[in-house]
Amino acid sequence: MNIKLPWTKLYFSDFLNGCRGLTHQQKGIYFTLFCLAGMENGRGLPNNFDELCLSVNVYDKDLEKVEELKCDLTLILNKKFVLIDERYHNQRQFDDFNNEIQTIRNKSEAGRSSSRSKRSTEQKQKLNRVSESESISYFNYIWENIKHKRGSKQVALKNYLAKGFDIDKEKIITKYNDLCSTITETQFIPHFATWINQERWEEELSVKNDSKPVERTYKDYVWMVKKQMRSTRISDDMVRQMKNENLITEEEFKAW
């Protein structure tokens, strides 16, 4: 189930209390990132500083102002966001989103359970009108055309007769094979009997995102060293390399 939430819980007092000690400029950057993260629908912000700079528009004709905005952006990322699966998330926003999604899914599942109960009675009535040999023939066709024959064939047949006999056999084959093609390690592919029992032909597979965050080098942190901004991402070896390449002055190196 692909659920999109165009809103998030925002308690005014909590937000203001959480912004104590921040300048108006820093609050603006925080709120912009907070909204952008919400628009990502639970996926979080990219772990790419240049992309985030564009998102909050830190660029200005005054280079000193640009550096100041970049410093504020770094501060907000460190104070208000965490990296989860290589994406930036505001922890409160992340938790609220997942809780709300789970609530919606629970309500949806309750509705589906009710409809399944009604459909179960209809299926039993229909099964009485379909010959057992014909149903087994359909199942054998499905079994021969799925990519991975995981689990017991007998149990899969039993579950098929109980829940899937009235579903288009080509749909079952396609849906199960599509799922198998997204899983690289065979042991993680669900047994066909379990997949049938859970009626997973109703699932919509999410599109796999193969994009990787851009790796940053020591050169990306030169401006932070010049501003004497400490970060766990900057090692002493990186600062020494900056000095060797004359990217920072002797005074800046000693001050670090």
More confident residue, 204 or 201: 201
Work out the average pLDDT over 12-29: 92
- For residue 174, give the amino acid letter: T
Work out the average pLDDT over 30-52: 93
More confident residue, 212 or 142: 142
pLDDT at 69: 94
Residue 149 has pLDDT above 70, yes or no: yes
**DSSP assignment of 188-246:** GSPPHHHHHHTTGGG--PPPP----PPPP-GGGGHHHHHTT---TT--HHHHHHHHHTT
As given in the structure block, the two tokens for residue 236 are 């002493």
Give the separation between CA 160 and CA 162, rounded to whole angstroms.
5
Work out the average pLDDT over 212-227: 74
With contact defined as beta carbons under 8 Å apart, do 204 and 178 qualify? no
More confident residue, 224 or 119: 224
Residue 255 has pLDDT above 70, yes or no: yes
With contact defined as beta carbons under 8 Å apart, do 82 and 93 qualify? no
| Segment among 128-137, 155-164, 180-189 with least mean pLDDT | 128-137
**To 10 degrees, the CA torsion angle through 137, 143, 146, 150?**
160
With contact defined as beta carbons under 8 Å apart, do 39 and 85 qualify? no
| Segment among 3-12, 108-117, 122-131, 167-176 with least mean pLDDT | 122-131
Give the separation between CA 114 and CA 47, rounded to whole angstroms.
43
**Pairing of β 45-46 and β 82-84:** unpaired
Residue 86 has pLDDT above 90, yes or no: yes
At CA 215, angle to CA 58 and CA 90, rounded to 5?
A: 55
> Would you kindly state where each structural domain of the chain is located, as residue ranges?
1-120, 130-212, 216-256
pTM of the model: 0.44
**Mean pLDDT over each residue of the chain, to the nearest integer:** 85
More confident residue, 48 or 204: 48
More confident residue, 1 or 175: 175
Percent of the chain at pLDDT above 70? 88
Tell the burial category of 206 from Cβ atoms under 10 Å away from its Cβ (0-12, 13-18, 19+).
Answer: exposed
Closest alpha carbon to 252 in 229, 218, 219, 220: 229
**What is the strand order of the sheet 87-89 is part of?**
45-46, 87-89, 82-84
Work out the average pLDDT over 24-44: 93
As given in the structure block, the two tokens for residue 200 are 């997973």
Burial 80-114 (b: 16+ CB within 10 A, else e): bbeeeeebbbbebbbebbeebbeeeeeeeeeeeee
Give the CA radius of gyration of the chain: 27
Residue 124 has pLDDT above 70, yes or no: no
pLDDT at 125: 58
φ, ψ of residue 195 to 5 degrees: the values are: -60, -40
